[in-house]
């Protein structure tokens, strides 16, 4: 037997044996198979073979392995990171794929032998995030500048065993705290990337590349994540009404988006929920309150990250099971807005209320520009315009939840309407509960006055 460049690698099948996950491939005319205890190990081996085949490596016909593996070459961090992406990809929604790629693109430049000839930070991020860790592009033709950048990374990448050195691991952790421009990342960003890095290191343990988890030996504290909505971002009802008027006065596009922004304010919807609002989801009586039945979202992630090439991913409600439904009562103000919108603009064939001029889903760039202009027309005071008040369309949702809480609606009902857990609601909106301390003091005083201490004057 000799070597062959003709390699076919098939999927993993599960069988009722002690090592149930079997990987099958063929080198030349010789079929090969290997069984594993876990699916993760099988995915790791498959990713190694696929990467070697795509790189044009010769495979040994007898063992079925690429020659680099036969020579005992150690797996590099870069190769392991790609194997990790391959293992996670199919079971991850598009938005998660972007966060996985972002974390790997952040840490990989820190795990190199030296920085001689290193491309600039933006070229590295473009090549790693957009190509090396985006599995949907692995079959695409790579631009020459990206190829040169990735060749440098592959050549300079440390072996994964280097993580056994505490200084190397700490260097990787420090990289997770920085943004591309060198400034410090938000605590929530660092926490998310560190969790992905920890998972990737665990995958290396599972694959036998490490004998122990080096992160457990590092005294490194993740910055606390502060999840609190500041009251300064929430517009009051009068300001919300003025902003919606300013949206409406921007011509056809503004009139079309007035009800979209109304959904965010009057129903507390997330933009990704409003994007997919359909006529069948709406109960709109001629008088009184109506309701919206929400079951899906369409977050925008970019066409290169979704399975079907669409720019919006098809997802269930945030933090809820895939088929969960949330029914939100809506006041007559929003009922009227939606009825007018349907009469004026109708719907798309799939029932969507909101769309671009070409029938596509509304984009952040489009409705963001309309919102910015409405805010500039409404907040004419320089101090108010520069403040965080209603700076983002998402702040309309914060305003809605704050309004409900301060109107005395039971927090559990507010949480249900907003699609939060009660614990998250009270933590995130703690500062928006105006008058809560005074109301609590009055309630305590009233209770104490029913049973005054002995000898006290009434």
pLDDT tens string 367-400: 999 999 999 999 988 988 999 899 999 999 999 9
Domain termination residue (choose one: 16, 35, 70): 70
On whether both 359 and 398 belong to a single domain, the answer is: yes
Residue 370: name the closest of 232, 231, 219, 259 by CA: 259
Residue 227: name the closest of 182, 274, 259, 189 by CA: 189
Question: Distance between alpha carbon 219 and the CA centroid of its chain, in Å?
Answer: 28
What pLDDT is recorded for position 320?
54
Does any domain span residue 13? yes
On whether both 237 and 200 belong to a single domain, the answer is: no
On whether both 235 and 322 belong to a single domain, the answer is: yes
Does any domain span residue 452? no
What pLDDT is recorded for position 164?
84
On whether both 404 and 260 belong to a single domain, the answer is: yes
Does any domain span residue 457? no
pLDDT at 255 over 70: yes
Q: Return the H-helix or E-strand segment holding 26.
A: strand 21-27
Does any domain span residue 225? no
Which residues on adjacent β-strands are paired with residue 327?
293
What pLDDT is recorded for position 198?
93
On whether both 170 and 211 belong to a single domain, the answer is: yes
On whether both 200 and 121 belong to a single domain, the answer is: yes
Give the pLDDT band (50/70/90) at residue 319: low
Residues whose CB falls within 8 Å of the CB of residue 359, separated by 6 or more in sequence, listed in order: 348
Question: Distance between alpha carbon 259 and the CA centroid of its chain, in Å?
Answer: 26
Which residues on adjacent β-strands are paired with residue 3?
60
Does any domain span residue 411? yes
On whether both 273 and 365 belong to a single domain, the answer is: yes
Predicted confidence (pLDDT) per residue in 63-101, tens digit: 788 877 766 557 889 989 998 998 899 888 888 999 999
Give the pLDDT band (50/70/90) at residue 454: low
Domain that holds residue 409: 231-436
Domain termination residue (choose one: 39, 70, 101): 70
What pLDDT is recorded for position 336?
95
On whether both 54 and 140 belong to a single domain, the answer is: no
On whether both 187 and 321 belong to a single domain, the answer is: no
Taking residues 247-261, report their average pLDDT: 94
> 370-406 burial by CB neighbour count: b if 16+ within 10 A, else e?
bbeebbeebbeeeeeeeeebbbbbebbbbbbbbbbbb
Q: Which of 8-12, 311-315, 317-321 has the lowest mean pLDDT?
A: 317-321
On whether both 55 and 124 belong to a single domain, the answer is: no
Number of domains observed in the structure of the chain: 3
Give the pLDDT band (50/70/90) at residue 217: confident
What is the value of pTM for the model shown? 0.61
Q: Return the H-helix or E-strand segment holding 292.
A: strand 290-294
Does any domain span residue 274? yes
What pLDDT is recorded for position 145?
93
Contact (CB, 8 A) for 159 and 94: no
What pLDDT is recorded for position 317?
57
Residues whose CB falls within 8 Å of the CB of residue 211, separated by 6 or more in sequence, listed in order: 164, 205
Query: In this prediction, what percent of the chain has a pLDDT beyond 90?
Result: 41
Residue 347 tokens, joined: 């719907």
On whether both 200 and 292 belong to a single domain, the answer is: no
Taking residues 321-325, report their average pLDDT: 67
Q: Which of 196-200, 226-230, 285-289 has the lowest mean pLDDT?
A: 226-230
What pLDDT is recorded for position 427?
77
Q: Where are the alpha helices (DSSP H) in 269-326?
A: 271-275
Q: Where are the alpha helices (DSSP H) in 207-324?
A: 237-248, 251-266, 271-275
User: How does the average pLDDT of the chain come out, rounded?
Assistant: 85
What pLDDT is recorded for position 301?
65
pLDDT at 458 over 50: no
On whether both 421 and 365 belong to a single domain, the answer is: yes
Does 325 or 241 have the greater pLDDT score?
241
Taking residues 105-116, report their average pLDDT: 94
Q: Return the H-helix or E-strand segment holding 166.
A: helix 166-176
Does any domain span residue 387? yes
Predicted confidence (pLDDT) per residue in 144-166, tens digit: 999 999 999 999 999 888 888 88
Residue 430 CA to residue 439 CA, distance in Å, equals: 15
Residue 352 CA to residue 358 CA, distance in Å, equals: 13
What sign for the dihedral angle of Cα 36, 41, 47, 49? Answer: negative
Predicted confidence (pLDDT) per residue in 31-46, tens digit: 999 888 778 778 888 8
Taking residues 350-366, report their average pLDDT: 87
**Crossing angle (nearest 10°) for helices 364-378 and 251-266:** 90
What pLDDT is recorded for position 175?
92
What pLDDT is recorded for position 393?
94
What pLDDT is recorded for position 128?
95
pLDDT at 18 over 70: yes
Does any domain span residue 443? no
Q: Which of 126-130, 137-141, 241-245, 320-324 has the lowest mean pLDDT?
A: 320-324
Question: Distance between alpha carbon 33 and the CA centroid of its chain, in Å?
Answer: 37
Residue 263 CA to residue 328 CA, distance in Å, equals: 11
Residues whose CB falls within 8 Å of the CB of residue 205, separated by 6 or more in sequence, listed in order: 211, 212, 213
């Amino acid at each position: 037997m000799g070597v062959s460049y003709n390699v076919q690698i098939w999927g993993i099948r599960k069988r009722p044996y002690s090592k149930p996950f079997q990987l099958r491939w063929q080198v030349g005319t010789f079929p090969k198979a290997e069984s594993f205890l876990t699916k993760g190990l099988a995915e790791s081996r498959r990713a190694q073979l696929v990467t070697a085949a795509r790189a044009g490596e010769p495979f040994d016909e007898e063992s079925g392995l690429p020659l680099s593996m036969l020579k005992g070459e150690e797996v590099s961090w870069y190769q392991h990171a790609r194997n990790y992406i391959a293992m996670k990809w199919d079971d991850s929604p598009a938005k998660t794929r972007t966060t996985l790629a972002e974390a790997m693109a952040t840490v990989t430049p820190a795990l190199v032998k030296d920085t001689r000839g290193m491309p600039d930070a933006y070229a590295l991020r473009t090549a790693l995030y957009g190509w090396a860790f985006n599995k949907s592009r692995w079959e695409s033709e790579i631009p020459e500048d990206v190829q040169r950048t990735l060749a440098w990374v592959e050549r300079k990448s440390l072996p994964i065993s280097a993580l056994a050195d505490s200084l190397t691991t700490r260097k990787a952790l420090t990289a997770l705290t920085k943004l591309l421009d060198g400034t410090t990342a938000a605590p929530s960003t660092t926490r998310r990337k560190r969790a992905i890095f920890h998972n990737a290191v665990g995958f290396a343990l599972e694959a036998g590349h490490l004998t122990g988890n080096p992160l457990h030996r590092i005294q490194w504290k993740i910055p606390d994540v502060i999840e609190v909505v500041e009251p300064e971002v929430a517009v009051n009802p009068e300001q919300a009404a003025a902003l919606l008027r300013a949206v409406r006065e921007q011509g056809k596009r503004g009139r079309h988006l007035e009800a979209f922004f109304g959904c965010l304010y009057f129903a507390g919807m997330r933009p990704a929920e409003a994007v997919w609002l359909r006529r069948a989801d709406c109960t709109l009586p001629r008088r009184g309150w109506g309701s919206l039945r929400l079951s899906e979202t369409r977050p925008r992630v970019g066409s290169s990250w979704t399975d079907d090439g669409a720019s919006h991913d098809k997802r269930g409600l945030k933090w809820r099971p895939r088929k969960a439904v949330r029914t939100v009562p809506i006041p007559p103000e929003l009922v009227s807005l939606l009825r007018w919108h349907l009469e004026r603009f109708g719907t798309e064939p799939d029932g969507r209320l909101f769309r671009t001029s070409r029938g596509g889903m509304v984009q952040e760039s489009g409705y963001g520009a309309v919102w910015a202009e409405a805010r500039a027309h409404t907040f004419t005071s320089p101090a108010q315009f520069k403040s965080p008040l209603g700076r983002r369309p998402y702040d309309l949702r914060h305003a809605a939840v704050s309004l409900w809480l301060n109107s005395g609606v039971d927090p559990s009902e507010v949480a249900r309407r907003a699609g939060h857990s009660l614990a998250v609601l009270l933590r995130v909106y703690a500062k928006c509960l105006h008058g809560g301390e005074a109301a609590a003091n009055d309630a305590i005083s009233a209770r104490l006055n029913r049973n005054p201490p002995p000898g006290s004057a009434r």
